[in-house]
Amino acid sequence: MKFTNGFWLIKEEYSPLFCIEYFDHTFDGENLYVYACSKHVEDRGSILNTAVLKVKFFSPLDDVIGVKLTHFEGQKETLPTFKLNKTNTKISFNETEDLLIFSSGDLRAEISKKPNDWNIKYYRNNTLLTSSEKKSEAHFQERISKNTYTVESLSIDIDETLYGLGERFTPFVKNGQNVEIWNEDGGTSSQQAYKNIPFYISNKGYGVFVNSPKDVSFEIASEKVEQVQFSLSGEKLEYYIISEDSNKKVIGKYCQLTGYPSLPPAWSFGLWLTTSFTTNYDEKTTSYFIDGMKEREIPLSVFHFDCYWMKGVEWCNFTWDPETFPHPKKMLDRYHNKNLKICVWINPYIAQKSYLFDEGQKLGYFVSKTNGDIWQTDMWQAGMALVDFTNPDATKWYKEKLKSLLDMGVDCFKTDFGERIPVRNISYFDNSDTVSMHNYYTYLYNKAVFDLLKEVKGEGEAVLFARSATVGSQAFPVHWGGDCSATYPSMAETLRSGLSLSCSGFGYWSNDIGGFESTASADIYKRWCQFGLLCSHSRLHGSSSYRVPWLFDDEASLVLKKFSNLKCLLMPQLYSHAVEAHEQGFPMLRAMFLEFEGDRAVDYLDKQYLLGDSLLVAPIFKETGEVDYYLPKGLWYNILTDKEYVGNTWIKEKYDYFSMPLLLRENSILLVGYRDDRPDYEFEKDLTIKLSHFVEGAKRIKKVYNQYGVLVGTITVLCLNSELNVQYDGVLKNPKFISLSNQKINIEKRI
């Protein structure tokens, strides 16, 4: 939201109050309260008719400083609020003649006490991260409506690039953009997004999180080119400066504050196949798909039934359409006997024709209007209502309906929608603020479903396929990229969204292989199969046409098989990174700047990524099969072609459909399993441990986890005198070590 007319002038419709200078402070042992006047105080008379803004400094975690800017304290606190984690922190407070210094770990805020010189500078040790200068912290009032806004602006350095803010389909580097934190069902080719997160990360090693579920507005070098401005309606604004010694640790610290991603079950990392959306299907059709995949030896882990497993105009009634699926329990049993997991589509809406509508209406379980009527709309399903998850009884009721499906044999749910949440003239059971609930609703919706899966299936078996999200939703994986089109530009914008989401605390991510809208050419489908199978989760899904490979061309089945087999073989490696995402918050899909700090060439790269910390993936976005990608400094090894590269350069190559840039960086340990036909097996058994080129003195430690996420072994590699000294322990069964650069290996098994 812009308040200025150019650099010098305030827009005529706003009346501003700025923090101009320090006036007073108090410190209570935990919190520092600083009072800033809105004009220079020359004498006692100056304090009359002068606004004072209170700035509170506090710390929920080490290396995190919270800042709360308040104009009028009397504004009521409203529900909902994000659930944040706090620990005992090592804070300190010091005062000099000119400064107040508030510190948490290695992060500190220095607040100027000099007359007419309000500013706050944030340092990590001796490095200046960002600052809030005079007139950066402000309060604005609209002259006519009297609506108020609280505003902060933080400086941007030369060569500083900013990322994140949830799933974004716009350019990956956010400098120059306006971003509104407001969930919308807008597809993948606009500024709108399904998953809006008010958190951005800088390549300088810090992040900023605005703690509000409302519609936070960001101007990222788009109003004042030297600053990030963020604003919020009302009298208060709270944000957190998050600092660490590496970029990916900043994301980890953000997850420590807002919640770590849960660990999905190993089977969920395999290939998912769906009925697609508006296609015609029954058990004969779905069995044809499943059997066709088996005939072609394409490993399939999950079969998903999209909307029309229920009868049209009755979504959701959570009842199988008896005309299409007359014996669902027997069908699910047959599919389970084929080693498949079953997913079904749901959403939080109850159509008027659903038998559940009268029940929910009678019990008062739907979101209502302020006059007591049920809120209803014909958009999506005729006369549908919205379940009120602020009502514990409504949540329990909704979960009970889903439990009957789990009891029948369903294994997980695709939790679609959660973005189209009304705001005007709405009333919630717990009197939540309706603007705040617009983004927050998805948290309650997905939490209810995820909690049910944990209760019924067990802690390690819960997984969703969710589209909408807000802060904390990373605890309910997996999320997919929404309704993309079957084109190369849409494939590229989908990757940008995944990279942005991974910079916002989400450890796992998927997308619709082949594109959702329209039908891809065989060329695009095969390239998307390569890309989609090299994400944490992989799903074939479409709108009005099926996505089984043999409908595209004969070669498509072979391509899909190759990369599905490859993913299964790489599961010991991938699952180790999945556990890392769960325990430390490091995303599996990693933008290049997260691993190669200091290499300026990686800052804008958005058509390649790292899968974990070692494997570089460069999807192909051209019908010619050509690809340009950048290799940072070091030796690299393409595990598909056995070709070695010297980095610190751009590479241009051409690939057929059975290969692509998939490169292992130097000083890396790659775990390769013994099965290529399923993702869940004994990862610790018959491991092939591939070692890339190690430079002299390099040391790497790799943890090995079983298919349940339990640590079962550790591998340590140290390069001395050009030889690789390997030690391993745990319950690794028959490991095989291979040096890809032909360095001599000395192996020692530790007891």
The set of residues, in sequence order, having a beta carbon less than 8 Å from that of 175 and lying 6+ positions away, is 156, 160, 161, 162, 220, 221
The set of residues, in sequence order, having a beta carbon less than 8 Å from that of 400 and lying 6+ positions away, is none
Distance of CA 171 to the CA centre of its chain: 16
C-alpha to C-alpha distance for 627 and 614, rounded to whole angstroms? 20
Radius of gyration of the CA atoms of the chain, in A = 27
C-alpha to C-alpha distance for 538 and 508, rounded to whole angstroms? 11
DSSP state, 583?
H
The set of residues, in sequence order, having a beta carbon less than 8 Å from that of 209 and lying 6+ positions away, is 198, 199, 239, 240, 242, 254, 257, 258, 471
Where in the sequence numbering do the catalytic residues fall? 416, 419, 483
End-to-end distance of the chain based on CA atoms, in angstroms?
62
C-alpha to C-alpha distance for 635 and 645, rounded to whole angstroms? 6
Name the packing angle between helices 554-569 and 522-532 (round to 10°).
Answer: 10
List beta partners, residue 342.
303
Burial-class residue 372 by CB neighbours within 10 Å (0-12, 13-18, 19+).
exposed
Half-sphere exposure in the Cβ direction for 628 (13 Å, CA): 4
* Length of the chain counted residue by residue: 751
C-alpha to C-alpha distance for 130 and 140, rounded to whole angstroms? 23
C-alpha to C-alpha distance for 288 and 274, rounded to whole angstroms? 12
- For 430, other C-beta atoms within 10 Å of its C-beta total 12
Contact indicator for 349, 384 with CB cutoff of 8 Å: yes
3-state secondary structure of 240: strand
C-alpha to C-alpha distance for 479 and 103, rounded to whole angstroms? 36
List beta partners, residue 65.
241
Name the packing angle between helices 355-363 and 392-408 (round to 10°).
Answer: 150
Contact indicator for 480, 415 with CB cutoff of 8 Å: no
Contact indicator for 234, 150 with CB cutoff of 8 Å: yes
Burial-class residue 680 by CB neighbours within 10 Å (0-12, 13-18, 19+).
buried
Angle at 343 between CA 340 and CA 348, to 5 degrees: 175
